[in-house]
């Protein structure tokens, strides 16, 4: 399956220390990619690197905040010198603040936009410079179903992820001539440590997600591996500016009555 082979490729995954970011990073590593992981938390980075290396994957890590353009530029330069060129960028780092719009502090709104939208732009701009010189590169932005839908208490997150969808399309438009493909992944609802408290049997939200999802289940983190490998590999060389929603079919349907089997 040479189309999906990532040997001799280096993938930088922001926030790839846990959850969905770690699952996608592991998928890339299984396909042969060398991993470069970023985090803002030293302990999480250390644990993640231990996990990757125990699995036999080649991985290195760097501590920095993707919203600080000066530090990010310094770190990308450092990574290139110490590890090598970046062939694949996965913009995964993000935050969410669940606060009703009428009550949300403007500083909180700005913080979410900064991390979830400005950060990916900073990283994409930095990494694209070497990709343009090389005439080759893959950028994968981690969007969300909130790139398409609204939901109570996540106005900042939805605004950022909607913006990230359009940023993906615009960067693809500008950089396609350099043989750079910029695409996005929009995860649905996944079984992670963060969602564990609301996935217990009988919890209203658990029942809602299972009934709302045609696949009738939460996603497993490994469900994202194949999409990440596809968008990072030669298999997607003529796919550009697209958002692939990995959601068990939620966005394909209006849903069903709660009493319908």
Q: Which residues are catalytic?
A: 157
Of 187, 168, 186, 188, nearest in space to 239 by CA? 168
Distance from the Cα of residue 141 to its chain's centroid: 5
């Amino acid at each position: 399956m040479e189309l999906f082979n990532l040997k001799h490729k280096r993938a930088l995954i922001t926030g790839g220390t846990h959850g969905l970011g770690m699952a996608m990073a592991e998928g890339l590593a299984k396909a042969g990619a060398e991993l470069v992981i970023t985090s803002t938390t030293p302990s999480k980075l250390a644990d993640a690197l231990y996990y990757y290396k125990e699995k036999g994957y080649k991985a290195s890590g760097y501590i920095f905040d993707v919203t600080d353009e000066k530090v990010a530029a310094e770190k990308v330069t450092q990574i290139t010198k110490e590890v090598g060129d970046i062939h694949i960028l996965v913009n995964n780092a993000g935050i969410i603040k669940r606060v009703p719009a009428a009550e949300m502090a403007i500083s909180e709104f700005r913080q979410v936009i900064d991390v979830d939208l400005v950060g990916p732009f900073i990283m994409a701009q930095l990494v694209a410079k070497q990709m343009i010189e090389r005439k080759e590169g893959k950028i994968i932005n981690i969007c969300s179903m909130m790139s398409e839908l609204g939901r109570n208490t996540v106005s900042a997150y939805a605004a950022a992820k909607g913006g990230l969808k359009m940023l993906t399309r615009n960067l693809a438009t500008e950089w396609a001539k350099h043989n750079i493909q910029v695409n996005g992944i929009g995860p649905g609802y996944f079984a992670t440590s963060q969602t564990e408290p609301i996935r217990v049997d009988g919890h209203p939200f658990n029942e809602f997600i299972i009934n709302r999802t045609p696949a009738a289940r939460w996603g497993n983190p490994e469900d994202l591996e194949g999409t990440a490998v596809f968008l990072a590999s030669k298999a997607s060389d003529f796919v550009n500016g697209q958002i692939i929603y990995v959601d068990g079919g939620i966005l394909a349907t209006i849903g069903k009555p709660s009493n319908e089997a």
